Structure 1
Amino acid sequence: MPQWLNWPLVRQLTGSDPLGRGTAARSRRTEDLRARTEQADEVVRSVCPYCAVGCGQQVFVRDGEITQIEGDPDSPISRGRLCPKGSASRELVTSPGRQTKIRYRRPHGTDWEDLDLDTALDMIADRVLATRDATWQRTDDQGRTLHRTMGIASLGGATLDNEENYLMKKLYTALGAIQVENQARI
């Protein structure tokens, strides 16, 4: 059979697909392609991390690596749809530019250095406690009891669930912070 008989236009004009949207448009390479979702070992349900809508996602995993993220058709919020940012959220995990180490630049420094997790957490805790101590208000100008700090505030993220917000509110209240807010509004 001559090779030109296998061209898409010839298949479209002579076959059962005159609009060229089915078999006429398929090549040998197209037939060999498989969806990344078919190769997954497991599918994990998740929530898109970008905004307050909370669209459901299906995360397809193979050999411990994310291969694809798609909208979850069982989600009552998004019904299987994702916006462009949600559709590209796989890049949050798989991008070669993603930072996987704790990076720190000292005050007035010009170079970044890597820190281990324990050191970074100790630095954060020391700074939170120092800020709390430096800005602690036991009483106001009229002698009324306050027991608060205005030096620590929290702005929660849009994808925190109720339980996470509850725990964060408890933490900041225990520190004496009264400026606790969440931007999860539509």
Structure 2
Amino acid sequence: MGVRTWLAGWPVYRQLTGTDPLGRGTAAKSAGSDALTPRTDSADSVARSICPYCAVGCGQRVYVSGGKVTQIEGDPDSPISRGRLCPKGAASKTLVTSELRQQRVLYRRPYGTDWEELDLSTAMEMIADRVLAARDATWEDVDDEGRPLHRTMGIASLGGATLDNEENYLIKKLFTAMGALQIENQARI
């Protein structure tokens, strides 16, 4: 291997002797970087979505390949975020694809030490029964002077930022209809 062949692999030599004197194009590329392709090139389809984490509503492009989400990036056509995502939004792929994501209902009995699996309908019935029992036990129809209250102080809601605006709106309406007053959201705290 000659000196000239050895120097040809050095980016500074390519920059000084080639057609790219500023080193911003071909002089800066190596064989390895030349072979790289974007992760989004192999996607079968692209779906537009909204980031689920906060109330801003940044646009996302969800790249799908083989029926699985392969990449989530900011949508440059979004008038809200113009292609930018915060660190949580940029990492939202893990919300969908993480192997640590729970896929079944787990229940731990009072004073229990182990989790047990429940089917969804059983868990929903248990939750509904407990909500209704708490509402009935703490319902206040009128105050001491006879003024109508129609409320319960035994139920509260703390919404999370992983829900979108529509879901948080429906949760607020549900808890208000049940008579709850303490309704808050993580995004406001």
Q: Which TM class, normalised by the smaller chain length?
A: 0.7 to 0.9
Counterpart for residue 79 of structure 1: 82
SS at match of 2:152: strand
Which residue, 69, 87, 91 being the options, matches 1:88?
A: 91
Query: Contact 1:8–1:26 (CA<8 Å) still a contact in 2?
Result: no
Deviations 1:133-176 (A, max 9, x none): 11111222223332211111223345532x44443233222212
Identity of paired residues, percent?
A: 70
Conservation of the 8 A alpha-carbon contact between 1:8 and 1:25: no
1:11-160 residue pairs with structure 2 within 5 A? 11-158=14-161, 160=164
Alignment partners' CA distance in 2, 1:151 and 1:67: 44
| Counterparts of 1:171 and 1:98, CA distance in 2 | 27
Alignment partners' CA distance in 2, 1:164 and 1:51 = 12
Residues 4 and 54 of structure 1: CA distance in aligned 2, closer, same or farther (over 3 Å): same
Q: Answer with 68-77 or 103-112: which moved more.
A: 103-112
* CA distance in structure 2 between the partners assigned to 1:130 and 1:71 by the alignment: 45
**CA distance in 1 between partners of 2:42 and 2:122 (Å):** 40
Once the two structures are superposed, residues 83-102 of structure 1 have per-residue CA deviations (whole angstroms, 9 ceiling, x without a partner) of: 22211111212222222222
Distance (whole Å) between structure 2 residues aligned to residue 124 and residue 111 of structure 1: 19
Helix, strand or coil for the counterpart of 1:46?
A: strand
Distance 2:61 2:32 in 1: 27
The gaps in structure 2 that reach 5 residues or longer are none
Q: How far 1:71 sits from its partner (Å)?
A: 0.8
Corresponding pairs, count: 185
- Deviations 1:96-123 (Å, cap 9, x if unpaired)? 2222222222222222222221122122
State the shift of 1:184 in Å: 4.6
Structure 1: segments with no counterpart, 5+ residues:
none
Shift of 1:60: 0.9
**In the alignment, structure 1 residue 180 sits paired with structure 2 residue 186:** no
Aligned Cα root-mean-square deviation (Å): 2.4
In 2, Cα distance between equivalents of 1:99 and 1:36: 27
Give the aligned residue type for 2:23: G
